[in-house]
Structure 1
Amino acid sequence: MGAIKSLIMLIFFIIVLNVALNKNGKYLKKDIRWQHYLFGCFFILYLMIALEEVGFPTLFEWRILLKSNQPIFNPHINVIPFNNGLEITDVLNILLFMPFGFLLPTLWEKYRNLKPTLYYGLFFSFTIEVSQLFVRNRETDINDLIMNVVGTICGWIIFNIMRKVFYKLADKTVVHIDSNDTLFIKLEPYLYIVIAIICTFFIMVE
């Protein structure tokens, strides 16, 4: 039942986001094509899958901890890079973040430059690592932060390789954000993460 509620919540947010984006686009006479909306849905779904895979905190888990008189704040921190060498989880973190580096430049033109993509990948990864402080049996790890950024860069490279082949599609999915745009359009890349975090946090809630 909780999963159904989360799905309904996700669909509601996607509809509201897309309707607001469409209205803002028409107001600015900005051509936002249906391909952008489609890949935006892929982006939100990917973000939710990524958050669930890394063990993002949920209200369901917090309720269990509180009922058993256990703390919500569970800090386990590693700040020494690769103190145990390269592990399989490091490779998995790279693979997990490759779609992130791929979808950002697919959706927004400014992320077709590496620096903004790298910064956003670092921001999203840092958000995840901070959240690990509030999850039982999870560790805030500098290795994860590094590997996530590497995965973002790899995804960005793959996009630029595939862009040369699917250049027509790449031109249809992208939105150019400039200084004259509304605040909503400027914040669109970040609203996806906000929606994914909200839906993931309330997942499995009865």
Structure 2
Amino acid sequence: MLPFYLSFSDLLMVHPTSIIGLVIVSISLGFLLRNRTLTNKVQTIISCLLFYCYLVLSLTNVFGIPTVMELSRLTSLGQPLFNPNLEMMPLADGFSFSFILNVIAFMPFGFLVPMISPTYSKWYKTVLLGFLFSLSIEISQLFTLYRATDINDLLTNTFGTLLGYLIFSIINKMFKKNPVPALHKDPTGFLPPLIVGVAFLNVFLIWN
């Protein structure tokens, strides 16, 4: 995982494929939020846009997943596409600086997902989505030359998601007393996984 300070200079750099993904997310929001109250609508829109930007930035500059360009380069060099580098010993490095960074990196995930959809007001749903997102990253790194698929990353990322959710829960209880809508009445339930999928696909399609 790349240190966060190496990614700060790229915060304002927008790749064309990211704009395409942003359009897809915006269209989905437009169809879903026509009948929601203004307060909920603003919260959902802002949370979705922040979540999408966070995912694209993280996948591009922090975690790193294979892209079309990288896979094409491997093929042109005659290298195999599947390059497993597995680290399966939990906490092999103890509570290192990398451990802390991995936890921090996923805290926005756990905070923003329940902000987008009341469906994820239950902690285990948010944590499960964070786990699956982290698992997708680790599996994708089997197709890179210089990154390892590490069980510790999966554990720390999932823990970071849980911490982010707990922060959301505390703030939500302090400032918001509205009841959470029932699951079958929530039209935004599929937005978080949709945004994750769009961001993942966008980063994969980056050519340069």
Q: TM-score range by the shorter chain?
A: 0.7 to 0.9
Q: Report deviation, 1:86.
A: 2.6
- The answer on whether the counterparts of 1:99 and 1:155 sit within 8 Å (CA) in structure 2 is yes
**Secondary structure at 2:184 match in 1:** coil
Matches within 5 A, 1:174-189: 176=181, 178-179=183-184, 185-189=188-192
Q: How many angstroms apart in 1 are the aligned matches of 2:20 and 2:143?
A: 27
**Match in the other structure for 2:117:** 108
**C-alpha offsets along residues 48-92 of structure 1, whole Å, 9 cap, x if unaligned?**
122121111111111221221112211011222122323221111
**Match in the other structure for 1:88:** 97
**Secondary structure at 1:73 match in 2:** coil
Kindly report the root-mean-square deviation, in angstroms, between the aligned alpha carbons of the 2 structures. Answer: 2.4
| TM-score (structure 1 length as normaliser) | 0.82
Q: Which one has more relative contact order, counting CA pairs under 8 Å at least 6 apart?
A: 1
Q: How many angstroms apart in 1 are the aligned matches of 2:198 and 2:129?
A: 16
Matches within 5 A, 1:159-198: 159-167=168-176, 176=181, 178-179=183-184, 185-198=188-201
Q: How many angstroms apart in 2 are the aligned matches of 1:16 and 1:122?
A: 24
Identical amino acids, percent of aligned pairs: 34
The count of residues paired between Structure 1 and Structure 2 equals 192
- The answer on whether the counterparts of 1:77 and 1:140 sit within 8 Å (CA) in structure 2 is yes
**Secondary structure at 1:84 match in 2:** coil
Matches within 5 A, 1:39-188: 39-52=47-60, 53-167=62-176, 176=181, 178-179=183-184, 185-188=188-191
Q: Report deviation, 1:101.
A: 0.6
**Secondary structure at 1:179 match in 2:** helix
Alignment pair present for 1:33 and 2:38: no
Q: How many angstroms apart in 1 are the aligned matches of 2:135 and 2:182?
A: 24
Q: Report deviation, 1:165.
A: 4.2
Residue 202 (structure 2) aligned to one of 196, 199, 203: 199
Q: How many angstroms apart in 2 are the aligned matches of 1:192 and 1:61?
A: 23
Q: How many angstroms apart in 2 are the aligned matches of 1:47 and 1:20?
A: 17
- The answer on whether the counterparts of 1:108 and 1:176 sit within 8 Å (CA) in structure 2 is no
Q: How many angstroms apart in 1 are the aligned matches of 2:44 and 2:137?
A: 26
**Secondary structure at 2:54 match in 1:** helix
**C-alpha offsets along residues 153-182 of structure 1, whole Å, 9 cap, x if unaligned?**
1111111222244438xx7xxx95733666
Counterpart of 2:150 in structure 1: which amino acid? D
- The answer on whether the counterparts of 1:57 and 1:134 sit within 8 Å (CA) in structure 2 is yes
Q: Report deviation, 1:11.
A: 2.5
C-alpha spacing 1:63/1:115, structure 2 compared with 1 (3 Å): same
**Secondary structure at 1:86 match in 2:** coil
